[in-house]
Amino acid sequence: MRIAMIGTGYVGLVSGACFSEFGVHVTCVDKDAGKIERLKRGEIPIYEPGLDDLVARNVAAGRLSFTMDLKEAMQGVDAVFIAVGTPSRRGDGHADLSYVYGAAEEIAQHLDHYTVVVTKSTVPVGTGREVEAIIRRVRPDAEFDVASNPEFLREGSAIGDFMRPDRVVIGATSDRAGEVMRRLYRPLYLIETPIVITSLETAELTKYAANTFLAAKITFINEIADLCEKVGANVHDVARGIGLDGRIGKKFLHPGPGYGGSCFPKDTLALVRTAQQVGSPLRIIETVVDINDKRKKQMAERIVAACGGSVDGKTVAVLGVAFKPNTDDMRDSPSLDIVPALQAAGAHVRAFDPAAMHEAGKLLPGVEWAGDAYGTLEGADCVAILTEWNEFRALDLKRVKAMLKRPVMIDLRNIYNPDDMAKAGFIYTSIGRPTPA
Ligand code: NAD
């Protein structure tokens, strides 16, 4: 089989490389000349574990290639995937569909045989129908069907998620399109991955329902964590106690500074707007969005409080700025709220992140970037952990303590144990756990 993948971002590049690993011939297309040049040179423009090997292997096998020329990419394809960005539209929070519709117009111009046009981007209900209408308008004669195939991979574990997903959701408008999609995902059928075949609208909504549910779950445990602090309970024990109930499930019950990243913030907001627009408001999700926005800002106040009520003229060491470990993605990372708030309160911020500093450098002016975790610490008044990278989990605490001006640690990811930290002589703050007496 042969496909074209439009967009070589976190989703397009990973999906394209994984399909090629399945034996499909994949041509990845992007408008960004820099990205395509780097990919052609064998460089991977994003940080995603394992992606470099996967891409190199399939390029060498002749199944994966990169181009800016969509016409060339679409020659003889069974399907063309749209995997472009759908960021929040400035001002109103609706998903900005200009990249998706732009891609649809371009696809229309190059359709010369029956092709399934698949939307992999996360798009509001009705987008697939509009993609169909755009193509029909530009090319009334074209032979095509549209399909929706939302992506559920997570950055940082994207390849494993794509290769061994909990399920694949496919919204198809014809049996013929459904059959092409089934053939593409055949290797996953063989390992008995559940495939949910449904309508276009249902597939589109399923993606938003999944992301908003997960955002609500995180927000729930974050609020329970705050309550734990007030009543002297331990949020991890509560999470385990409820998570072992199969109806609740263990995952996504880890408290933190609030969800961030390229999906949850924009997708929660977009679904809220869709629901309001059709007169069926999602009040739970409206509240989730509000709580999460405020939470990220409150995290800076926690750091200030741990520093004795003021950070004016003080140095705050920050470990991790990416929205989660194993990615360089800075989109809507909690650090983008926390660091500027600390700076506004008069702090000098010295930070380190194993993968995101290049991106973060553009978004967080005034930060002094260090070469490693220890490089942030010398003479700092406190250290705050914002991202739970593995390399921050086993710091040499004696060394950390000796380097800090005062042994104050604010662990917004709960990667250390309060008792251990007390024994090591730290003034330690975490989320939702009692501080040892
Ligand atoms: P991204 O911003 O990393 O990549 C999008 C790419 O599309 C960019 O390289 C851009 O240059 C390219 N592009 C835009 N218009 C184009 C066009 N007309 N022709 C060719 N290339 C074009 O985005 P992403 O993070 O990969 O997300 C893509 C979609 O997948 C979004 O809708 C997102 O919500 C969804 N999604 C993302 C994730 C994730 O973890 N990042 C997970 C699941 C779903």
**pLDDT (tens digit per residue) in 2-30:** 999 999 999 999 999 999 999 999 999 99
Mutation pick for ligand 1 pocket among 97, 121, 149, 262 (CB with most ligand atoms within 8 Å): 262
Take atom 34 of ligand 1 and give the residue whose Cα is closest. 122
**pLDDT (tens digit per residue) in 33-79:** 999 999 999 999 999 999 999 999 999 999 999 999 999 999 999 99
pLDDT at 228: 98
Q: pLDDT confidence of 436, banded at 50, 70, 90?
A: confident
**pLDDT (tens digit per residue) in 225-263:** 999 999 999 999 999 999 999 999 999 999 999 999 999
Residue 64 phi, psi dihedral angles, 5° rounding:
-130, 130
User: Which atom of ligand 1 approaches the CA of 68 most closely?
Assistant: 20
Say if ligand 1 is within 6 A of residue 127 CB. no
Residue 165 CA to ligand 1 center (angstroms) comes to: 19
Residue 14 CA to ligand 1 center (angstroms) comes to: 11
Token readout for 267 is 């997708």
Instruction: Give the DSSP H/E element, type plus range, for residue 107.
Output: helix 98-110
Say if ligand 1 is within 6 A of residue 153 CB. yes
Altogether, the residues listed in the chain come to a count of 437
Mutation pick for ligand 1 pocket among 13, 15, 30, 326 (CB with most ligand atoms within 8 Å): 30
Q: pLDDT confidence of 91, banded at 50, 70, 90?
A: confident
Compute the distance between CA of residue 202 and CA of residue 171 in angstroms, rounded to an integer. 7
**pLDDT (tens digit per residue) in 119-159:** 999 999 999 999 999 999 999 999 999 999 999 999 999 99
Mutation pick for ligand 1 pocket among 5, 8, 10, 100 (CB with most ligand atoms within 8 Å): 10
Compute the distance between CA of residue 237 and CA of residue 214 in angstroms, rounded to an integer. 20
Domains contained in the chain, CATH given: 2-198 (3.40.50.720), 243-429 (3.40.50.720)
Residue 108: partners with Cβ closer than 8 Å, 6 or more residues away: 134, 135, 137, 138, 139, 142
User: Which atom of ligand 1 approaches the CA of 266 most closely?
Assistant: 34
As annotated, the active-site residues are: 263
Tell me the H-state helices in 42-89. 51-60, 70-73
Say if ligand 1 is within 6 A of residue 122 CB. yes
The DSSP-derived string for 234-273 is -HHHHHHHHHTSTTT-STT----S---SSSHHHHHHHHHH
Tell me the H-state helices in 309-356. 335-344
Compute the distance between CA of residue 329 and CA of residue 155 in angstroms, rounded to an integer. 8
Say if ligand 1 is within 6 A of residue 7 CB. yes
Token readout for 35 is 């990205």
Instruction: Give the DSSP H/E element, type plus range, for residue 66.
Output: strand 64-67
